[in-house]
Amino acid sequence: MMATAFIGYVLPWGQMSYWGATVITGFFSAIPLVGDWIQQLLLGGYAVGNPTLNRFFALHYLLPFLLVGVVTLHIWALHVVGQNNPTGIEVKSKTDVVDFTPYATVKDAFGIIVFLFFFAYFVFYLPNFLGHPDNYTIANPLKTPAHIVPEWYFLPFYAILRAITFNVGPINSKLGGVLAMFSSIAVLFLVPWLDTSKVRSAVYRPWYRFFFWLFVANALFLGWLGSQPAEGAYVTMSQIATLYYFAFFIVAMPLLGFLETPRRLPNSITEAVLERNKAASTLTAPRDTGHQPHPEPK
């Protein structure tokens, strides 16, 4: 999906698209032995040009078919293996489950409607809000933008790349930056093995919840850093944020599985739901103040 989005971003042939493609494809040259060959294969030459657009347009058309295949696998897993639940407890009886329709269907339909509401708002009222002004200028190989930045959804990974690549601060390595950027995505596939806890839900793991929300805030912080110039304190902060990004997966998740003491798990999903409903009814029930109500006048 990220590759499809990046390839599509190059097609408008604007300044930011051109130089973004130049910078990102240039990092492939850091790969030993085959780096230059991969870069020339992607570009169709030694620089971004018409052959690059032809290749990227073809890939931008073909890659969505792979995404359709992944979606098909997801639907298969949902209906054959089954969906997860917030408690992380295995289904033990029919009382633990509900019918897919109408419950899950209505829930998914509601999510789609909310998404389309915001999507339509940006499309019809703020079409240029998320775009970069420089990308409305025709690509010019002789004029480099002041600050080359990708689209907003790439900014956290771009910050990780720059944190190690740029020759600012104690760390600088072009190959290291490329490896860190790809590793920040590849590490997500290792989560089932990195999470050593036997408790599948964060509802019963308070320390894990703390580190998780800190990770979410750190990812948003990386996104903001990716939009800033690669200079001074911005690079140092990017390196610290990148360190925590990987430490969450490589250090926090494995260690918390051994060191954290989870809360008591319910015996079943039904018990968890009943406990939650009981707690909610206790909070909303009127309190007994010890005073009798005034009698109504006759």
* Whether residue 251 sits in one domain with residue 201: yes
How far apart are the C-alpha atoms of 201 and 182, rounded to whole Å? 28
CB 1 within 8 A of CB 67: yes
Question: Is residue 59 situated within a structural domain?
Answer: yes
Give residue-wise pLDDT tens across range 242-290: 999 999 999 999 999 999 989 888 888 888 777 777 776 776 666 655 5
* Whether residue 139 sits in one domain with residue 154: no
* Whether residue 181 sits in one domain with residue 138: no
Question: Is residue 286 situated within a structural domain?
Answer: no
Question: Is residue 298 situated within a structural domain?
Answer: no
* Whether residue 125 sits in one domain with residue 154: no
* Whether residue 116 sits in one domain with residue 45: yes
CB 28 within 8 A of CB 35: yes
Question: Is residue 104 situated within a structural domain?
Answer: yes
pLDDT value, residue 208: 95
pLDDT value, residue 168: 47
* Whether residue 122 sits in one domain with residue 3: yes
* Whether residue 136 sits in one domain with residue 18: yes
* Whether residue 135 sits in one domain with residue 225: no
Q: What average pLDDT score do residues 77-84 get?
A: 78
CB 30 within 8 A of CB 174: yes
pLDDT value, residue 169: 47
How far apart are the C-alpha atoms of 199 and 274, rounded to whole Å? 20
CATH code assigned at 67: 1.20.810.10
Whether the predicted pLDDT of 294 surpasses 60? no
DSSP letter, residue 50: H
* Whether residue 236 sits in one domain with residue 172: yes
- Whole-structure pTM value: 0.81
Whether the predicted pLDDT of 54 surpasses 60? yes
Domain ranges, residue 191: 149-277
pLDDT value, residue 283: 66
pLDDT value, residue 175: 81
Quote the longest CA-to-CA distance of the chain: 98
- How many angstroms separate the Cα of 32 from the Cα of each of 17, 21, 166, 170? 26, 20, 19, 23
Question: Is residue 63 situated within a structural domain?
Answer: yes
Count of domains for the chain = 2
* Whether residue 211 sits in one domain with residue 122: no
* Whether residue 1 sits in one domain with residue 132: yes
Question: Is residue 178 situated within a structural domain?
Answer: yes
* Whether residue 89 sits in one domain with residue 18: yes
Give residue-wise pLDDT tens across range 148-189: 888 888 899 999 988 887 654 444 577 888 889 889 999 999
